[in-house]
Homo-oligomer: A and B are copies of this chain.
Amino acid sequence: MTGRLPHSLRSDALDNRERILDASRALFAAEGLDVSMREIARRAGVGPATLYRRFPTKQLLVTEVFTDEMHACHAIVEEGRADPDPWRGFCLVIERLCELHARNRGFTDAFMSAFPDAMDFAAGREHTLASIAELARRAKATGRLRPDFVLDDLILMLMANRGIHATSTATQITASRRFAALMIRAFQAP
């Protein structure tokens, strides 16, 4: 999945790898993608060389870390699509997506291709967006979603959602929820 096989790694190496990923997850979620490699290594209790040996590029580390979140994205969209009421499903997707991104600053950066050449991500992103587009088409058919809604509006929303910062995670999520509610109202047909 990453090109680097975790097999054929010595036990201590594997252990360090895990610690690096844990540290990355925590730091990326809290601070975004622009944490220094050094800081990740420190947090993981590992020398810089070890970090670079396992993940020569920050890019590789990022894609590895956010594979789960990417799957979560898919899952959210699929759940929305499975809803018998497309508009309800659409709203659910928006709410959940905003919360996911609010919980994980780094994932938003990655999703918005802060790393322009994260091809793995771009592919997953496009697939997710296409699914949302399909859901939006059905939601429009019910007359609840504005006919002039375009996919760019959703991207705009995610970009905007990224701008919302707060001191605590709890406040952050509350604010993001409020924002999602506003956007849903904006997307609703008059």
Closest partner residue, chain B, to A178 (CB atom): B156
- In the complex, identify which listed stretch (A18-26, A35-43, A60-68, A182-190) lies at the interface while the others stay far away: A182-190
Closest to A112 in B: B165
The interface residues of chain A, by DSSP majority, are classed as helix
Q: Is A104 an interface residue (CB 8 A)?
A: no
B179–A156 contact, CB under 8 A?
A: yes
Q: How many copies does the complex hold?
A: 2
Asked if A153 CB lies within 8 Å of chain B CBs, one says yes
* A178 with B163: CB separation less than 8 A: no
8 Å CB contacts to B: which residues of A159-176?
159-165, 175
A146 to B165, CA, bound (A): 25
Could you say which residues of chain B place their CB within 8 Å of the CB of A186?
182-183, 185-186
> Would you call B163 and A159 a contact (CB within 8 A)?
yes
Q: Report the Cα distance A160→B164, complex, angstroms.
A: 5
Q: Which residues on the B side are within 8 Å of A163 (C-beta)?
A: 159-164
Q: Known contacts A183-B182, A183-B186, A185-B186; is A159 also within 8 Å of B153 by CB?
A: no
Which residue, of A157, A162, A175, A182, has the highest number of chain B Cβ atoms within 10 A?
A182
25 pairs, CB–CB < 8 Å, chain A vs chain B: A152-B178, A153-B178, A156-B175, A156-B178, A156-B179, A156-B182, A157-B182, A159-B163, A159-B164, A159-B165, A159-B175, A160-B160, A160-B161, A160-B163, A160-B164, A160-B179, A161-B163, A162-B163, A163-B163, A163-B164, A182-B186, A182-B187, A183-B186, A185-B185, A185-B186
New A-B contacts (18) at CB < 8 Å, excluding given A161-B163, A182-B183, A185-B186 = A153-B182, A156-B178, A156-B182, A157-B182, A159-B163, A159-B164, A159-B175, A160-B160, A160-B161, A160-B163, A160-B164, A162-B163, A163-B163, A163-B164, A182-B187, A183-B186, A185-B185, A186-B186
